Structure 1
């Protein structure tokens, strides 16, 4: 069951992104005063004109010089680009829905901190502001730990790697490959994705949790909208591909590095007046210490139960309630969840997993 003791040896943290091929460049001083002063302000520039003007300024100051061009705006919530990208290995057209105009050239905007761009190599990326002044440096260290050394080459790594860091004055932007869709969207594609499709996406999500926990990193915002997938198999339409899409874990803004395996943490992932996620029992008294690895498990289990409450296979459905036990000590570790999932899936005939996903759509958590 849950424990804050992580026995696996983590890879060393490398502070310099240049050591493993990513580039970091400091651009000369310019109109810093035209840009927001803190991360909170950046994240909440939902008003379109302000968002557009802010990112045009960033493009003029640094992005264009680095070979990146901003995508255009389709509407308040979506960005669009003309023409198909070159293959990147992170976005694909599914064999059952090859409409490139819809699949590859749109991106949903969810925060003022990020913008879609096209590189001068013809590939598409997401640029995200990570640090402003003294803010965001733990976030940046976390991304570096997961993006450099041998980790991106491991098959169990589900992190979008940093392609480039760009520093301007006190601002640090990271550039990562653009992937496709949130996993939770695949749970609501009625008569398109099978239970088998969803289960294997969830297995990869659990593998991602195991990987970051082995690095002694707790995410603390581990809901399904922070898992994305490069394409949907949609195997209920036709079995046109034997290849499975890859799932990636994103958004490490609230992550913390628990270098001491017995360390506990305190406080909400976000300030109380800005924290609108479901709260685990241990967060009801934020001043009390809690295990963030166990919190990750509760958040993941809560999100799965909301978006995938019934698979039609009792053995699979019985796994998820254990993740949301009131007592954090009773929750399984990510490794125990994986072991149980593998045990159940191995015991089921593949044809018995090929059932349509029920229309269980609920509002996003």
Structure 2
């Protein structure tokens, strides 16, 4: 019996895959297929977690350059060990596995049949050479693709942290740390926008960070700034070369190909999306990122003005990624780095 026989149990569209009740069931069905290719899935229950033997020895984590920790955490400390050996951000779309060459990677569904092929091509162009070699491109690199029947999976490096928790869960990141992450995120958006690509799901949860500097705990400005990566292009759109800027517009909800999908869309929306009016998807990206930080207060008026303009409900007042980046960069360059070594105010929404 072929190890491909159980693929008949797999979802046939990205939508049905995303809303599986048991997020691990699809990966159980793929377990033997991936194992035959040399990919060993991490054990899973409520999250993907390495077994106890590995958990007692962090040396089993093969360094990949994307998952780091500050010395403050301690190599032998429980916080470092838990974060290095557990993968919390599980969805039916992804799993974590050890690759044939010993790296820990995230395996993600990129396309099923014809569904998602346009986004897959966008992902390929951004996440592989030559674009992946540019410093201003913050798209997480795509290590390789796996084709199983009509399903294409992407293998991506596992990154340490999600920007979604940059100032929560007891993190000690300073305002300066967080501003650097926001500016890198804007640089990443400005880069893809220059290629006529809009992400359309650019909330902070879709940016991952090499590590958290936690400058408040260190009490010093970090020498090395962690790199921020943009992930999850499943809602991305690319306009053809030569398309006039006035025609680079969208209508409706990202991924809303049916009434059922629209009902299950839970992200925050600009008014134009709800009214089915044409909107600028590039400014949508900036709005989504800005909206992600409504619970964050830098306590610095120039910074707050930029963040507010990013999240402006009036489309005429919304900033582009390049404009927002230029304004934040100008402010950061005008003040001593030590002055940004302050805690943010975090609102409970």
Q: Deviations over 1:221-267 (max 9, x none)?
A: 11111111111001111138511111111111111112224322222
> Is the contact between residue 190 and residue 358 of structure 1 (CA under 8 Å) also seen in structure 2?
no
Q: How far apart are 1:36 and its partner, in Å?
A: 2.1
Change (3 A) 1:314 1:254: same
Q: 1:40 aligns with which of 5, 9, 15?
A: 15
Q: 1:274–1:190: structure 2 CA closer, same or farther, 3 Å change rule?
A: same
Aligned residue in 2 for 1:91: 67
* TM superposition shift of 1:361: 4.6
Q: Could you say if the C-alpha distance between residues 191 and 154 of structure 1 is closer, same or farther in structure 2, counting changes exceeding 3 Å?
A: closer
Match of 1:341 among 310, 318, 328: 328
Matched, 1:71 2:42: yes
How do 1:174-323 residues align onto structure 2 when only pairs under 5 Å count? Answer: 174-188=154-168, 192-238=172-218, 239=220, 241-259=222-240, 260-262=243-245, 263-271=248-256, 272-286=262-276, 288-304=277-293, 306-308=294-296, 310-323=297-310
Task: Give the TM-score taking structure 1 as reference length.
Answer: 0.84
Secondary structure in 2 matching 1:146: helix
For 2:205 and 2:184, the matched residues in 1 are separated by 14
Q: Where does residue 116 of structure 2 map in the other structure?
A: 136
- Equivalent pairs counted in the alignment come to 327
Provide closer, same or farther for how the CA distance between residues 295 and 302 of structure 1 changes in structure 2, counting only shifts above 3 A: same
Structure 1, unaligned runs of 5 or more? 1-26
Q: Which has the higher contact order (CA 8 A, sep 6+)?
A: 1
Given the two structures, how large is their TM-score scaled by the length of structure 2? 0.88
Deviations 1:39-62 (A, max 9, x none): 222112232xxx44421321212x
Cα displacement string for residues 153-173 of structure 1 (whole angstroms, at most 9, x for unaligned residues): 111121111111111111111
Residues in 2 aligned to 1:261 and 1:171: alpha-carbon distance in whole angstroms: 34
Could you say which structure has the higher helix fraction? 2
Q: Distance in 2 between matches of 1:348 and 1:92?
A: 28
Q: Deviations over 1:55-103 (max 9, x none)?
A: 1321212x22332100111x42x21124332111111122211343212
* Cα separation, 2, equivalents of 1:361 and 1:125: 33
Question: RMSD of the TM alignment (CA)?
Answer: 2.0
SS at match of 2:61: coil
In the alignment, is the contact (CA less than 8 A) between 2:163 and 2:205 conserved in 1?
yes
Deviation at 1:325, TM superposition (A): 2.7
Q: Post-superposition shift, 1:143?
A: 0.6
